[in-house]
Amino acid sequence: MKINLITIGKPKLDYAKIGFDLYLKRLKYYHEVNLIIINDSKANEKSIQKIVNNKFLIVLDIKGQILSSDQLAKMLIKFEYQQKEIYFIIGGPNGLPPSIINQAQFKWSLSNLTFPHDMAIILVTEALFRASTINLNLPYHK
């Protein structure tokens, strides 16, 4: 399955760079992963729309649905069977424009808490990696 991970800005803190790179590398063992980084200063509705227009979009949104690792794993299996190419988008410090959020097919909340961008990108890549290992019955999740 092809996963497109769109992030507004790169991780800035050292721990975030290390964690993000680690889980992104691990995730690439199980999926074709395309990383799209939109520069913070160039991230606006129009630039984001060019990338996500008519795509199967999953946005991170505090008002979205909170998923367990098992639920995320099942969702990935469903998309894989449907041969969907998925676009996950993680907003920057100001979030995402409402028009982008509204066009998403799924709104995913990591928690009722709000996380800084650096933390969110680690959580997303780790969660996707964990879900992938669950689907393959690998011991990581145990």
Give 10-residue mean pLDDT values along the chain (142 residues).
Answer: 92 93 96 93 87 93 95 94 90 89 96 92 96 94 72
**Amino acid 1: pLDDT:** 87
Contacts of 107 (CB under 8 A, 6+ apart): 58, 59, 61, 63, 64, 65, 101
**Amino acid 44: pLDDT:** 85
Predicted confidence (pLDDT) per residue in 110-133, tens digit: 999 988 999 999 999 999 999 999
**Amino acid 6: pLDDT:** 95
Architecture of domain 2-135: 3-Layer(aba) Sandwich (3.40)
Evaluate whether 120 touches 93 at the Cβ level (below 8 Å).
Answer: no
Q: Residue 73: which H helix or E strand, with range?
A: helix 69-81
